[in-house]
């Protein structure tokens, strides 16, 4: 089965990442089908994309006519069957291997033989997913960063079975989104999370060692290393459950202590303090501006 140019895209999973990815692909000119994997309000999702495009128009980054055209290219649905005709599927559902494999199994029966499948997983194995499909040669990792509309990088992860023509077709599509593709071999965490997760973990160790306070460590890294966010603000932004699961997956895979989730991360996660999305993590976002979580100052 030959691989052709990617002309249409399906995104499975309409969480923060899936929604952001679909926003980007429709804006870049690809007819896009966004499938919400769980029951819910698809109109509300489309309204959110409309709102994001509206901000682009307000900032002079998009013409009103282009906004309308992009919205016209975006179909939001809960029906997996509507992915039947797409050239590329980008899966962005729950970070659970069994759930993802089940979704790809269903997609194998729905999508055309030439369609390329990809997963936006952070730290699960692409190979483990690819070998469970009927198209391991047309299966890749396509890893976007949060927030997807703003972050330029997309890691493209290949396995021992990936057809170079599929890699080429996906790289071209990613470049057409205005993103920068970087090729990586399938390996838990790829490049960025293998470097970024231990960095956030190290910051937590420095805090628990008493080197400096949470906000001073963040201030130091913003002003001393020109990072847009310090490590604690970033961890809260990503979500402490996500950081915890990434660290756990990396630790299980490599067995290196630098990936082991520190106690403070585990305790915040167990108490439902997951960062920005729960309004409290390393910082308390109930206050404006956010202040360090009082429980971590005692
Ligand atoms: N959606 C779309 N665009 C957004 C956005 C969002 N949620 N948040 C910010 N932006 C855009 C803004 O429109 C703005 O664009 P402009 O300058 O062209 O107008 C630009 O990003 C900067 O935004 P702001 O001025 O509002 O805010 P900041 O300057 O504070 O930037 C930030 C916000 C882009 C989030 C910046 O703080 C940043 O880059 N932080 C680091 C984020 C990061 O490291 N992400 C990677 C996380 S790891 C990951 O995703 C891996 C995964 O596997 C877990």
Q: What is the C-alpha to C-alpha distance for residues 78 and 34, in angstroms, rounded to an integer?
A: 8
Residues 6+ apart with CB under 8 A from 126: 119, 139, 140, 141, 157, 158, 159, 186
pLDDT over threshold 80, residue 244: yes
Domain end position, chosen among 130, 153, 185: 185
Q: Note whether 59 and 173 are same-domain residues.
A: yes
Among the listed residues 91, 95, 155, 245, the single catalytic one is: 155
Domain end position, chosen among 161, 185, 209: 185
Q: What is the CATH number of the domain that holds 200?
A: 1.10.1040.10
Among the listed residues 143, 245, 249, 293, the single catalytic one is: 143
Please report the pLDDT score of residue 3 as a whole number: 66
Instruction: Count the domains in the chain.
Output: 2
> Which atom from ligand 1 is nearest to the alpha carbon of 146?
50
Please report the pLDDT score of residue 4 as a whole number: 76
User: What per-residue string of b and e applies to 228-267 under the rule 16 or more CB within 10 Å gives b?
Assistant: eebbbbbbbbbbbbbbbbbbbbbbebeeeeebbbbebbee
Backbone phi, psi, residue 128, to 5°: -60, -35
Whether residue 122 lies inside any domain: the answer is yes
Tokens of 145: 């960063």
Q: What is the CATH number of the domain that holds 140?
A: 3.40.50.720
Q: Which residue lies with its CA nearest to atom 26 of ligand 1?
A: 150
Q: How far is the CA of 86 from the centre of ligand 1 (A)?
A: 29
Backbone phi, psi, residue 190, to 5°: 50, -135
Per-residue pLDDT tens over the stretch 21-79:
999 999 999 999 999 999 999 999 999 999 999 999 999 999 999 999 999 999 999 99
| Pocket of ligand 1 contains residue 207 by CB under 6 Å | no
Cβ(190)–Cβ(184) below 8 Å = yes
Q: What is the C-alpha to C-alpha distance for residues 157 and 119, in angstroms, rounded to an integer?
A: 9
Q: Note whether 215 and 283 are same-domain residues.
A: yes
Q: Note whether 209 and 157 are same-domain residues.
A: no
Whether residue 92 lies inside any domain: the answer is yes
| Pocket of ligand 1 contains residue 250 by CB under 6 Å | no
- Determine what percent of the chain is predicted with pLDDT higher than 90: 98
Nearest to 234 by CA among 193, 270, 206: 193
pTM summary value: 0.96
Range of the domain at 252: 192-293
Whether residue 112 lies inside any domain: the answer is yes
Per-residue pLDDT tens over the stretch 44-54:
999 999 999 99
Q: Which residue lies with its CA nearest to atom 37 of ligand 1?
A: 228
The residues with which 233 forms a beta bridge, in sequence order, are: none
Q: Note whether 96 and 227 are same-domain residues.
A: no
pLDDT over threshold 90, residue 289: yes
Q: Note whether 214 and 147 are same-domain residues.
A: no
Among the listed residues 92, 118, 120, 122, the single catalytic one is: 122
Whether residue 2 lies inside any domain: the answer is no
Domain end position, chosen among 145, 166, 185: 185
pLDDT over threshold 70, residue 188: yes
pLDDT over threshold 70, residue 216: yes
Q: Which residue lies with its CA nearest to atom 23 of ligand 1?
A: 150
| Pocket of ligand 1 contains residue 85 by CB under 6 Å | no
Q: How many CA atoms lie within 13 A of 239 on its CB side?
A: 14
Average pLDDT rounded to a whole number, residues 213-224 = 98
Q: Note whether 217 and 170 are same-domain residues.
A: no
């Amino acid at each position: 089965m030959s691989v052709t140019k990617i002309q249409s895209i399906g995104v499975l999973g309409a969480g923060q990442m899936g929604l952001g990815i679909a926003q980007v692909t429709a804006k870049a000119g690809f007819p896009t089908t966004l499938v919400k994997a769980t029951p819910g309000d698809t109109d509300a999702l489309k309204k959110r994309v409309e709102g994001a495009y509206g901000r682009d128009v307000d900032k002079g980054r998009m013409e009103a006519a282009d906004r309308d055209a992009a919205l016209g290219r975006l179909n939001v649905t809960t029906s997996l069957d509507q992915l039947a005709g797409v050239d590329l599927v980008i899966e962005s559902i729950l970070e659970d291997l069994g759930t993802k494999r089940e979704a790809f199994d269903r997609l194998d029966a729905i999508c055309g033989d030439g369609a390329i499948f990809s997963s936006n997983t952070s730290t699960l194995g692409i190979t483990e997913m690819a070998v469970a499909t009927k198209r391991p040669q047309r299966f890749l990792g396509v890893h976007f960063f949060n927030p997807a509309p703003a972050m330029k990088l997309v890691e493209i992860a290949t396995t021992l079975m990936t057809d170079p023509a599929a890699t080429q077709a996906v790289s071209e599509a990613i470049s057409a989104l205005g993103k920068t593709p970087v090729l990586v071999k399938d390996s838990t965490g790829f490049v960025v999370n293998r470097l970024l997760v231990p960095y956030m973990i190290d910051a937590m160790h420095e805090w628990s060692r008493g080197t400096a306070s949470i906000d001073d460590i963040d201030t130091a890294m913003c002003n001393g290393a020109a990072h847009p966010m310090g490590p604690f603000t970033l961890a809260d932004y990503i979500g402490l459950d996500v950081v915890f699961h990434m660290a756990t997956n990396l630790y299980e895979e490599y067995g290196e202590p630098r990936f082991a989730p520190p106690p403070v991360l585990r305790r915040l996660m167990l108490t439902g303090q997951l960062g920005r999305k729960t309004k409290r993590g390393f910082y308390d976002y109930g206050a404006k501006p956010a202040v360090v979580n009082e429980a971590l100052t005692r």
